[in-house]
Amino acid sequence: MSVAGLALHPFATPRDLPEALGLLAERAARQEKTVLLAGGTDWFVERHVAPPETEGTLPLVLDVSRLEGLRGISIQVDTLRIGAGVTYLELRKDARVAARCPLLAAMAGDVGALQIQARGTLAGNLASGSPAADGVCALAALDATLLLRSVRGPRRVPIAGFYSGYRKSVLGPDELIEAVEVALPPAGSPFVWRKVGTRQAQAISKVALAGVAVVENGRCTRLGLAMASVAPTVAFLPATRALGLSRALAEVADTEVRDAVLGDVAPIDDIRSTAAYRRHVAVALVTRFFEGLKEA
């Protein structure tokens, strides 16, 4: 699939968010497929390996890249709101994000080349639902809330409840992702973003770890962890989180961390790596993060 291939598809460019939602609702009622196109950095690649489609069955491509209702980054008190159409480059360059949510800024700087960062969006990453998705991994560690919208109104879904399986979500055919909200940790809170791939840049991760913590008197009062490429969806590491919150960090042994991580991940062998390597790296990354929290 190339940009030229879009000419084969029916194509629409709504003027505003209500018009886009109206089109989605009409097509969903007729059970007609619609593709929302912002950056297209996932969708164009997926079309190369998708089953062939005849011209009469091609989905409508709805260009939402210019909708003002999906733009903007704002902070209200301790809540960060990111519009669905915000690109990784905008995230990376925003001084407020760098200061208040450095995990997202670090992740955005690791997403592909500059061209991908300039086009790709968080909402596109979320909707695609790849288990290797960098953006989803970081948002999962931050326990983000997704703001979904349709003509029926808004709906708020915690990211932990968004995915129902491999590349499947609870997003309805008449809904789109309007924005993402994150409850910000206090400034200076320790965090980790570590992406392990075949090369330092422009690589899909073999394993990636996102984490953020709030530590008071040697104990975690908030601990968010998520890992990419180790399960059918981005993994939230619930047992590892529970361990880190259970007692003073100094009392948590490395062997306990190892056992918790191995219970939380279910990696597979694929073209990028092996399950054994992924398990080894997953344990090493989380153990190092815990060691850093203990030192801090």
Average pLDDT, the chain: 91
Lowest model confidence (mean pLDDT) among 27-36, 192-201, 230-239: 192-201
pLDDT at 98: 97
Pairing between strand 153-158 and 207-216?
Answer: unpaired
pLDDT at 182: 98
Q: In angstroms, rounded to a whole number, what is the distance separating the alpha carbons of residues 179 and 257?
A: 34
The pTM score is 0.92
pLDDT at 45: 63
Question: Hey, which residues does 209 pair with through a beta bridge?
Answer: 194, 227
- The burial class, CB within 10 Å (0-12 / 13-18 / 19+), for 19 is middle
Mean pLDDT over residues 2-29, rounded?
A: 85
pLDDT in tens, 222-254: 999 999 999 999 999 999 999 999 999 999 999
pLDDT in tens, 125-149: 999 999 999 999 999 999 999 999 9
Copy the structure tokens of residue 74.
Answer: 């704002």
276-109-284 Cα angle (round to 5): 25
Give how far the C-alpha of residue 281 lies from the chain's centroid of Cα atoms, to the nearest Å.
Answer: 20
> Given a cut of 60, is residue 50 above it in pLDDT?
no
pLDDT at 37: 87
Domains and CATH numbers, the chain: 3-63 (no CATH), 71-183 (3.30.465.10), 191-295 (3.30.390.50)
Long-range contacts of 40-47 (CB under 8 A, 24+ apart): 40/119, 40/124, 41/112, 41/116, 41/119, 41/120, 41/124, 42/120, 42/124, 42/125, 42/128, 42/130, 43/1, 43/124, 43/128, 44/1, 44/2, 44/3, 45/1, 46/1, 46/128, 47/1, 47/5
pLDDT in tens, 255-279: 999 999 999 999 999 998 999 999 9
